[in-house]
Amino acid sequence: MDNKPNVVMVGLGYIGLPTAALIAKNKTYVHGVDINPEIVKTINAGKIHIIEPELDNAVENAVKDGFLYASTVPVEADSYLIVVPTPFKGKNEPDISFVESATKAIIPLLKENDLYIIESTSPIGTTELMMNLIYSERPELKNKLNIAYCPERVLPGNVMYELVHNDRVIGGINDESTEKAVDFYRQFIKGDLHKTNARTAEMCKLVENSSRDVQIAFANELSLICDKADINVWELIKLANKHPRVNILQPGCGVGGHCIAVDPYFIVADYPMESKIIGTAREINNYKSFWCAEKVKNAKLEFELQHGRKPRIALLGLAFKPNIDDLRESPAKYIVQKVLQNANDEEYYIVEPNINEHKVFKLTSYEEAIDKADIIVFLVAHDEFKNYKAIKEKIVLDFCGALNK
């Protein structure tokens, strides 16, 4: 690209690419960096490698207009955004090695007054750690850079809208860094920009997802109690929520996705003694999936005892939440795996209307599964499943409230 980029975006995935396209749309030059050469090639051809509404047009136009260019190596710019993955390593320990290597790649390019922002979901103290890493390699820049953390909280499927309209929390390692980062985001974002320090901004992202996890764990715990007490948990929650200050969430077959099921561990790993509720919520939500698999096993054995033959079983849903095709960390997928591990000549029909095929599971249509199965297990409350009409002789296990909402 002839034009000097103003922004280097390191990591061109679900978050980095839409953000790069948004910045480019505002006629700011973006040099996108990804270690995956296929991704780089795809983007430079004006195409995208992920599914996200409206992103294809945004990337095509940004590349065509010369405001977005991708590469496997960074170049000199004024602002650097780190949007690389922060997965687990070992036993639920956050792995910040991607953030570290992305940072190392841009350290030689930094100059006075540059802005360095981490957007990757990160354990508390990561921004300070990266600041120390930068200044240890470039001591002449000490206190002359603007360093901040700004987490992302968009909903996949609505990213292009939410990127612009959601409020953002922005925390610098000092006030000047916070101000510089706010000025940067103000150019592209219409939502309110809330100023804080880096540690609070890091914690804020983790707390948002932990809060959801804890609240879902409460609902899941109620579902276990109600099952024993012979109470319909969905009816119970509906009634309890008639109280003007009570708002219980819905139980399900666990908690999945790459955020809510992951981020709480970033707190628990560093503060195990203090994060009792957060850690227990993770355990309850994981246990709920195991419990569902056990329930299917018991239903299967009971059927065999009663009917003297193996049952046919429909397992409905694989995604981690209703009406999406995302199977990452999905409790429904875990339950299906667990049930199939215990398979003993029963016939199974696995249904996921939001994907065409799966590399491990043979998929069946919803209609065929419902028609043939003796035991029908609702794992995800997809819209397609809600029109189920009860048939007397079929056993139904509704773990997600598909029939009760």
The residues of the shown chain that bind ligand NAD, judged by CB under 6 A, are 10-16, 33-36, 39, 83-86, 98, 101-102, 120-121, 152-154, 156, 259
- Whole-number minimum distance, CB 153 to ligand NAD, in Å? 6
CA atoms within 13 A of residue 368's CA, in its CB half-sphere: 10
- Whole-number minimum distance, CB 185 to ligand NAD, in Å? 15
Which of 180, 205, 321, 333 is catalytic? The answer is 205
Q: Name the residue with the smallest CB distance to ligand NAD.
A: 13
Query: Is 333 designated active site?
Result: no
| Alpha-carbon gap, residue 39 to 53, rounded angstroms | 18
Nearer CB in complex with ligand NAD: 22/315: 22
Nearer CB in complex with ligand NAD: 125/340: 125
| Alpha-carbon gap, residue 328 to 344, rounded angstroms | 27
- Whole-number minimum distance, CB 398 to ligand NAD, in Å? 28
Nearer CB in complex with ligand NAD: 13/125: 13
Instruction: Of 246, 275, 292, 326, give the one whose Cα is nearest residue 397.
Output: 292
- Whole-number minimum distance, CB 240 to ligand NAD, in Å? 31
Residue 143, class by beta-carbon neighbours within 10 Å (0-12 exposed, 13-18 middle, 19+ buried)?
exposed
- Whole-number minimum distance, CB 67 to ligand NAD, in Å? 20
Give how far Cα 154 sits from Cα of 52, 151, 167, 263, Å: 12, 10, 10, 15
Nearer CB in complex with ligand NAD: 150/237: 150
| Alpha-carbon gap, residue 145 to 378, rounded angstroms | 53
- Whole-number minimum distance, CB 150 to ligand NAD, in Å? 11
Nearer CB in complex with ligand NAD: 15/48: 15
Which of 25, 150, 253, 259 is catalytic? The answer is 259
Nearer CB in complex with ligand NAD: 34/114: 34
Q: Are strands 79-82 and 115-118 parallel, antiparallel or unpaired?
A: parallel
Query: Is 405 designated active site?
Result: no
Q: Which residue numbers are catalytic?
A: 205, 259
